Structure 1
């Protein structure tokens, strides 16, 4: 039997993600906060641009946590929690820091969830784009 060892998300990976996300945001003229969590939901890295609104630190972390817990991009979950959506009570049913706004992405390696990234500070579509750009720079 051939056992494969899963490589977890490292602090070096997290720094690559932070740098790439910030570069994408800077190119768009947007000041952001970036949060990277490991598979257990623990903070690996966080950076808030000097000009980013203060709440972006909290929103980036909640977006990352939500993407991790549901293993889905937060942008794809927005309609599910609307009043007529199947998960409309989820944001208030759990005592967890969930946030259903675009900008959070799960991070998978070899088909396994290894962490998440969250962006806050721009419009939801921008934050989603910055997170996507960051993941494209992550070594596989």
Structure 2
């Protein structure tokens, strides 16, 4: 039995994500970095706004990677890695660039994971909102 092929995340999709996240951030007056990864965790697109804090490039990429690897928005993981949480040791147990701060979200098409979005530069709540807005624009 063969699985139905799912269209992967494309460069055009990535540009849609970047534009939507940046528009949402610009409307809020927040310069950000936006990272889009494909299903294999490879960089598909990246954009850092003028004036975005330098670390936002790294955080946006790590948020996207975390959302991809765990197939969960990073906002949903924050409490799980706090002291006493069920995955408290996960951030240090693996030699991977995971970051458990809101702003990363997986991207699905036809029920399959095809990539992830990461946004950094604002507060965690802002970054999550910008990533969610970008995802909504993509799946329209």
TM range (shorter): over 0.9
| Residue 67 of structure 2 corresponds to residue 58 of structure 1 | no
User: Match for residue 84 of structure 1?
Assistant: 84
Shift of 1:2: 8.7
Q: Is the 8 A contact 1:13 1:139 kept in 2?
A: no
Q: Counterpart in 1 of 2:41?
A: 41
The residue number in structure 2 matching 1:122 is: 122
Deviation for aligned residue 1:4: 2.8
Within the alignment, does 1:107 sit opposite 2:107 as a pair? yes
Q: Provide the aligned length of Structure 1 versus Structure 2.
A: 140
State the TM-score, normalizing by the size of structure 2: 0.97
1:139 offset after TM fit, Å?
Answer: 4.3
The Cα of 1:3 is off from its aligned counterpart by 5.9
Determine whether 1:7 maps to 2:34: no
Contact 1:35–1:43, Cα closer than 8 Å, also in 2: yes
How much does 1:74 deviate?
A: 0.2
Is there any run of 5+ residues in structure 2 with no aligned partner, and where?
Answer: none
CA RMSD of aligned residues (A): 1.3
- Paired residues for 1:65-76 under 5 Å: 65-76=65-76
Name the residue aligned to 1:137.
137
TM-score computed with the length of structure 1 as normaliser: 0.97
Secondary structure of residue in 2 paired with 1:101: coil
Which runs of 5 or more residues in structure 1 are unaligned? none
